[in-house]
Structure 1
């Protein structure tokens, strides 16, 4: 039952590749820093994976909001550990918090919200937009 998953968490280890490079600045791109947007993508992906295991097939979750604080820079190729926990459920709103570490040192933290919606609703919206 997906409405009773408060407190569930998931932790992953990953090594960012070149697709994570912060590329807004030509000089900084050469240093291979991991972009904040790449970190955000990992946080919300793990939240998605948590819900994927408990949502019925006719429902899906979409990101509503994200707040992230990157405390220290990390580099492409660094071994990182990312943990995400369900902190609250309010109707179809699922609240998450997460932490990213390198060598047991916190390098980023996040809070985000995913909303559970009907897959059919999203399909209808896509068709409406296309016509």
Structure 2
């Protein structure tokens, strides 16, 4: 059960490819920096992977809020370490903290909350939105 995952953590090595490119500025795009949002995306995925093994098949976790503090630029192809820890569990809300480093230097910190919801609820909402 997901309510028993408080304190667990997972760390991965990660090398961003071109799909993680910061592309908001034409000149800066040429330097191949990794975007803040894509760093957050890696942490989100790691959190999702940590939770899914504890959920029954009819439930899924979704990100409901997040903050990112991006301290240092990194380029595509840099070898990064991404660590995520479950800070707390309150009902169907799971809070995470994440740290992304390069050569033991802090690149970014990510705080986010995933909410456990019914897959059927999401399916119904998708149908409602498209009809």
**1:82-124 deviations in Å (ceiling 9; x for gaps):** 0000000111000000000001111100100000000111111
Residue 87 of structure 1 is matched in structure 2 by: 87
1:42-69: CA deviations, max 9, x gaps?
A: 1111111101111110100011001010
In structure 2, what is the Cα distance between the partners aligned to 1:107 and 1:58?
Answer: 36
Q: Post-superposition, which runs of at least 4 consecutive aligned residues in structure 1 deviate over 3 A?
A: none
| Aligned equivalents of 1:8, 1:56: Cα separation in 2 | 19
Residue 124 of structure 2 corresponds to residue 124 of structure 1: yes
C-alpha deviations, 1:1-37, integer Å up to 9, x for none?
2111000111111100011111100000000010111
| Secondary structure in structure 2 of the residue aligned to 1:23 | coil
Which residue of the partner structure matches residue 49 of structure 1?
A: 49
Q: Unpaired runs of 5+ in structure 2?
A: none
5+ residue gaps in structure 1?
Answer: none
Aligned equivalent of 1:98: 98
**1:79 Cα deviation from its structure 2 partner:** 0.3
Alpha-carbon distance between aligned partners in 1 of 2:19 and 2:77, rounded to the nearest angstrom: 11
- Provide the C-alpha distance between the structure 2 equivalents of 1:74 and 1:56, rounded to a whole number of angstroms: 38
Partner Cα distance (2:8, 2:64) in 1: 20
RMSD: 0.7
